Structure 1
């Protein structure tokens, strides 16, 4: 019987099966060359995992095999063979070890052959690699002491004890303390993460508590917060409210002004800017040093090809955090982009991620979803309201600030100055006689805060409050919430409705002009879950409605009659409501709206009588009160 030695497959079958069968038929004579070839058992593969200088090194080896033979062994498995022909001519069987090695390589986003020389990964992958090694007995794991220590530290995420700063002007709920501890644990290990709590659970407050703690611990560099333009001044207001000891600066304005501000960031504890301005100023930012960079509404970088995403990933920082209630809106690649900002390399390249996870998960192939979860779960903290219901009140109220800018601000200041001058030049008797005219002027100011289109038909620019409102709407809808949106100006509801329609968001609108029949039909539609947003005017929806399908309430413009505002909120927050209701009050910062809000506690009766719709009390409405509402000099 003759054979070609180059025919490895025939040789393998001859040595493993053929010789035994032939020996049953008679005497088998072997050549010296054939006698020298042996079939060896599969080797025991080993993985050495070491951590050094914040890098994880993973290297594959095998007892009794040279690096060249191990490469042949892996290549044979890659070609779907059941054996490998070594450099000595011997044949070696392939077993579960080869499959386990390729599985590990695939999980790490590398080629199995690359493991022979060792690959370097972010140390943040340590817990994932440890779990992968623990899942198979086909690979012998050799973990060094640094690797084991890193695993222990990652296992303690959120369990380290960091004291909440006594100077924080808020009491954290139980789950918020957990979030604060988690953020502190991550930064202690030099790692970043995504705080992905549901809207209304206080992501901003938890981050402010963490920043405050790090500053009090001796931060050498400032924190940079990047957020949507409509939320810049809400961030500064929240920082001033909860951590007044911090030096905070909003980096806004003209290019020259921003350049000066960025050059001086070291003078502040926290600087806040918008995504668009960060993109424009990235060359200045890369020259600075930040203790941490925080991206709020981090879905803004979900497309890695945008200039904003590319700029964000250039920002210099000790650690990076992302805040978003929706880390995945449509595709898994969005999660990859956020992690590429947080910890580049953890999820591999974009192409390898698509191959390893995105396509398999979307097609429900194998355990790809479980593997991805194992990789990212240490660095994502997400709680929904149902998870923390024991810590929540029945109603969460939050004031959201919008800063007027551009043409809207110019219009507001011009009208505020004009009204202030008119009132200042009026004697007490004249003021008393013209009080109704003054009230009309104050209403005009409030309309400009909402949207100048309410008073100026030819107004072409935007509205800061409308933009902020839409941020809230998108955040709520992305989190699966249902919204009641109140305004006392029906014209404002029309403007909001046009914006919703433009963005393909279905809505209902109830005003005083709605018939009883249409009113009942709309309520039934909303309660049945057919439409996610319900626009309601004060007069039409203040009483007599049961809308417990909503768990988010937005008051677009403040109702200075607090009782009327609470009554509107109670359309959702009433018997039959099974979820915590989150109530947002939109306020234009540094305007009549904010001043009346501040005045509510000291002069509640005045505010209600002047602007609450219950009539005007001449005894309470004074010239000095109006000047106070106008900010004195109008600034």
Structure 2
């Protein structure tokens, strides 16, 4: 199987348009004459395009693409696979999927035919099984065995477990005597029995495949004649499968008949008596206890197998092993360990045993309430702490071996270990280090965690005391965060400033670095902490990153291009960042861009023809963008008069600011169309068409300053680009801007080399296949606004097209929306004139006839 997922193919091409072109070639049936080698890991084909190209692909042993090759020029010129290779790969994927579908369909038909044959088979006879469990630790370590008896009515012993499972797997007959043979083709086992047999069969297969190595540890094999040896884990699985079922049990050669597994607590009686200065601890059960598993999960007692609940087992097992297994029913706890036994062991097991305390022992137990005291101090480098557990007149330092419990030797202190452990666990989570009977911290992150998290939790369990130096540790309130944004008209830039009350501006830069590094706090120069888990701070840091201004901050001030104003305003509104104040110029810019129709721009009286309402809006939109130095894309549907709106705009700019040439770059077919439009709608604009041979074009360009509009084509601009470098135009406007959708094309590079005070684009299709086309146009309008090519791919193109990231798509839309004006015919239908049909009769030429 070849690995040919869409995301893999897309990663192998330079741009997504290459993938889509390749897909069109494949769907169009252009992949022909596909050949392969005997090992089917190399394929070669002819792909029919403008010429016939030979494309090939090699796959490695894992089914992944190893190498590709094509004879087309694009393969040599550009990075990645060409469209011809993509078409071949899609052809191979389709072939592979069709082949798989045919194989599955063929199997379905075979299964259907087989099902008819199965109905003619004779009815199988069910077999009964008897399970006999034996436990005898003297025979083998662990001591658990299983044997089986099977039959239709009368049951027969399985004398060789190995032969039985061989027959079970091979469907061969196995004779049990004159009157019964096991025939897999004639017999079947009930579902509940089949689960158990399948489990035992796995043991048999492992035993056989490992060449009897499982038996090498013991004197007998896992499968020995009729008996199957069950390891500890196998026994547990067997018992689990036998839940709610009875089976025969033999313990140390004594038969107990059918037994069921019961889940319940063991009844254990535990007694503690004083003997001299020691304690004697005994344990008895209601009957004999035999542990069938080493961990005590399954116990045999009083003729039953008990599955001991984990809550009781975990608490009682260590004590059970010491007293009943090793101590033969009784152990001695010496004087040195009495307190620990009473505090740790007794308090843990008292709820899972029947406890009988000797009166002398009960009277000797000292059980005052626990009081916890924690002391914190500070020096220049670290935080020190002391912890005391206080029981009446007894004071215990858990981190000092020197501190002794001062008490009557006849008394046994019953410590509240649960409470003590909670305190110690909190300190452990705080990453404290132990030294000289105390604890300390010397790391800023841990000190911040101590003040903000550990101490509040400790206060639930005890009293906390602080030295004056420790109290000097301050936690600043990050809620006192203010900011502002303004248009700096002197520098023609957008300017942010941020402040936090009581913090020097030069520290604001480092503070935002800490947020970007996902830190929980920032340690100020005065030693205090500023928590950074603040939604407003995080949103501002996110905004700075989204705008690509991470490295532009100096003393809490960030300067950036005015182009980001609209995105910034939208972000502040969406995140409700009302604490960031906007100056008058900022608010006016936003209002004008959002509502250009409210601005009193006068349409030139010299314009011939009437602008409809939507065209007046487009005229004012262009005027507003130009006023603030922004570029834009007028993306109205074809036929809605984009040229008329631009001419009205250029005529207005000439009247207000005087005569400065504007460069219009158009497809070759539209050069003379622009001349006609100017003559028809704006005859006051002087237009110069750059055409002819090289010498003629050079001569025409000598008179650029005498014209309002210089019109040239994309192909001629490519050839003459060096001739335009000395000119500074008022506006550079490109028509049918999709001609520069490929950022690496000569068209795009040529128009982007033109120097002008501002740039606009006209197109009815601002994006056809990929967002990279939009990036290229915006790179012409406002270079850097949508980041560099590489950053744009990483931030938007890959997440949107490869991962389907709708949040990134929405974010991109917020960036570009203010600078694209698009109306379709349906939206302005009422403003359009009635359809005019004109019939022109022409006579065919001699060649046409």
| Partner in structure 1 of residue 805 of structure 2 | 365
Partner SS state of residue 291, structure 1: strand
Q: Residue 395 of structure 1: which of 815, 832, 835 is its match? A: 835
Measure, in 1, the Cα distance between the counterparts of 2:762 and 2:813: 19
Higher deviation after alignment, 309-318 or 221-230: 309-318
CA shift at 1:226, angstroms? 0.2
Match of 2:637 in 1: 198
Contact 1:44/1:140 (8 A) holds in 2 = no
**Does structure 2 retain, via aligned residues, the 8 Å contact 1:360–1:368?**
yes
Aligned position for 1:49: 485
Correspondence 1:36-75 to 2 at 5 A: 36-51=472-487, 52=489, 53-67=491-505, 69-75=507-513
Cα distance between partner residues in 2 of 1:75 and 1:289? 41
Q: Which residue of 2 aligns with 1:142?
A: 581
Quick one: distance in 1 between partners of 2:460 and 2:621? 70
Cα distance in 2, alignment partners of residues 113 and 251 from structure 1: 43
Over 3 Å counting, the alpha-carbon distance change for 1:20 and 1:103 in structure 2 is closer
CA distance in 1, matches of 2:577, 2:600: 38
Structure 2 distance, partners of 1:162, 1:28, is 71
Task: Tell whether the 8 Å contact from 1:197 to 1:325 is kept in structure 2 after alignment.
Answer: yes
**Paired residue for 2:779, among 331, 335, 340?**
340
Once the two structures are superposed, residues 161-200 of structure 1 have per-residue CA deviations (whole angstroms, 9 ceiling, x without a partner) of 3343344333333322222232233333333211000112
Alignment of 1:310-459 (within 5 A): 310-362=749-801, 363-365=803-805, 367-393=807-833, 395=835
Establish whether residue 128 from structure 1 lines up as the match of residue 567 from structure 2. yes
| Structure 1 position 78 matched with structure 2 position 519 | no
2:498, 2:508 within 8 Å by CA — same for their partners in 1?
no
Is 1:291–1:319's contact at 8 Å kept on the other side of the alignment?
yes
Counterpart CA distance in 2 for 1:340 and 1:611 is 48
Spell out, residue by residue over 1:118-174, the C-alpha distance to the aligned partner (whole angstroms, 9 max, x if none): 333222322322222233345621323332332333233243333433443333333
**CA distance in 2 between partners of 1:69 and 1:4 (Å):** 28
Query: Is the 2:553–2:559 contact (alpha carbons within 8 Å) kept by the matching residues of 1?
Result: no
In the alignment, the residues of structure 2 paired with residue 378 and residue 266 of structure 1 have an alpha-carbon distance, to the nearest angstrom, of 33
Alpha-carbon distance in structure 1 between the residues aligned to 2:499 and 2:809: 29
Query: What does residue range 588-627 of structure 1 map to in structure 2 within 5 Å?
Result: 610=843
Q: Shift of residue 250 of structure 1?
A: 1.0
Q: Which position in structure 1 is the counterpart of 2:698?
A: 259
- CA pair 182-25 structure 1, distance change in 2 beyond 3 A: closer
The equivalences for 1:112-261 within 5 A come to 114=553, 116-138=555-577, 140-217=579-656, 219-261=658-700
Is the 2:741–2:774 contact (alpha carbons within 8 Å) kept by the matching residues of 1?
Answer: yes
Shift of residue 325, structure 1, vs aligned partner = 0.9
Q: Does the Cα contact within 8 Å between 1:263 and 1:284 map onto a contact in 2?
A: no
So what's the TM-score if we normalise by structure 1? 0.58
Say which SS state the counterpart of residue 39 (structure 1) adopts. coil
CA contact (8 A) 1:301 1:338 kept: yes
Q: Which runs of 5+ in 1 are unaligned?
A: 398-561, 566-606, 617-635
Q: 1:97 aligns with which of 532, 536, 548?
A: 536
Q: Does 1:13 align with 2:449?
A: yes
Separation (CA, whole Å) in 2 of partners of 1:80 and 1:115: 20
Q: Are the structure 2 counterparts of residues 319 and 10 from structure 1 closer, same or farther at C-alpha, using a change threshold of 3 Å?
A: closer
Where 2:827 maps in the other structure, the secondary structure is helix
Structure 1 residues 44, 396: closer, same or farther in 2, change over 3 A? farther
The answer (yes or no) to whether the contact 2:486–2:586 under 8 Å persists in 1 is: yes
Equivalenced residue count is: 408
TM-score by length of 2: 0.44
Between the aligned partners of 1:113 and 1:240, the Cα distance in structure 2 is 49
Distance (whole Å) between structure 2 residues aligned to residue 217 and residue 74 of structure 1? 45
Q: CA deviation at 1:54?
A: 2.4
Report the structure, 1 or 2, having the larger helix content: 1
C-alpha change, 1:262 and 1:113, in structure 2 (3 Å) is: closer
Alpha carbons of 1:203 and 1:115: their partners in 2 closer, same or farther (altered >3 Å)? farther
Deviations 1:603-635 (A, max 9, x none): xxxx65x5599xx9xxxxxxxxxxxxxxxxxxx
Greater RCO (Cα-Cα under 8 Å, separation 6 or more): 1
- 2:579 match: secondary structure: strand
Query: How many Å apart are 1:112 and its aligned residue?
Result: 7.0
Q: Secondary structure at the match of 2:775?
A: helix
CA distance in 1, matches of 2:552, 2:616: 46
Distance in 2, Cα, partners of 1:357 & 1:38: 42
Q: For the structure 1 residues 41 and 320, does the alpha-carbon distance in structure 2 shift closer, same or farther, using more than 3 Å as the test?
A: same
Residue 43 of structure 1 contacts residue 64 of structure 1 at CA under 8 Å; is this kept in 2?
Answer: no
CA deviation after TM superposition for structure 1 residue 296, in Å: 0.2
SS of aligned partner of 2:750: helix
Given the superposition, is the C-alpha separation of residues 166 and 150 from structure 1 closer, same or farther in structure 2, using an over 3 Å criterion?
closer
Residue segments in structure 2 that go unaligned for 5+ positions in a row:
1-384, 386-437
Deviation at 1:274, TM superposition (A): 0.9
Q: Distance in 2 between matches of 1:151 and 1:348?
A: 22
SS at match of 2:553: helix
From 280, 285, 293, the equivalent of 2:719 is 280
Deviation readout 1:51-109 (Å, 9 max, x if unpaired) = 12421122333222234543443333323333333333322222112211222112312
Match of residue 533 from structure 1: none
